[in-house]
Chain A
């Protein structure tokens, strides 16, 4: 099965700075990597995803990079704002399954004004 490690568990930045969260996965056959944002007491919401045939994807201030050789992927948030404060979860879909997501344990991001 798949195993996903996520670091750091907590991250505190000043407003305007960049934030980077990293995840590693164990199964080289994994082919889909979404990132979810969960605000306190709210449901997880997809913010960006990347598939294994792409090395980088951007959406405004958010970007995800994938290194298949090293089996890791990262979330980059630029020009952080207080409303970016939340828990961020990475996930990987195991190549042997077309549905099952394995999640990291989450990163609590705090953006200080």
Chain B
């Protein structure tokens, strides 16, 4: 079956612009996660969804970052007024349930000029 998909695969934007990153999880997976991967760093947890609700937003770096999930499926991560330090690969993962294996998407590589 289809794995986790993300779009766009690459995004170049100017400082100060808003960007939206999309994640399509594996069908039937109730849990969805967003991570950020900076060069030479591990995966930094951003937010966790169970269904449409986000019980843990503790990893969002600032109030410029927000995310939503609709219909228990697609999720969108929005970064407002982008800064150069937001440049990174944003990875989405999903799992059948919270304690199950997390499957990752290919990521969106964001470059803020």
Contact = CB atoms under 8 A, between A and B. Distances in A.
Interface of A: 4, 6, 32, 34, 36, 42-46, 49, 89, 91, 97-106
Contacts of A98: 98-99
Contact of B105 (A4, A6, A43, A103): A43
Contacts of B45: 100-102
Interface residues of B, number: 25
Q: Which of B3, B43, B50, B105 has the most CB of A within 10 A?
A: B43
A103 B33 CA distance: 13
Interface of B: 3-4, 31, 33, 35, 40-45, 48, 50, 56, 91, 95, 98-99, 101-107
B106 A89 contact: no
A99 B107 contact: no
Closest 8 pairs between A and B when the two form their complex, measured CB to CB: A99-B98, A103-B42, A103-B43, A105-B42, A43-B104, A44-B104, A43-B106, A98-B98
Nearest to B4: A43
Contacts of A91: 43
A36 B50 CA distance: 23
A89 B101 contact: no
The majority secondary structure among interface residues of chain A is strand
B101 A46 contact: yes
B101 A34 contact: yes
Contacts of B107: 43
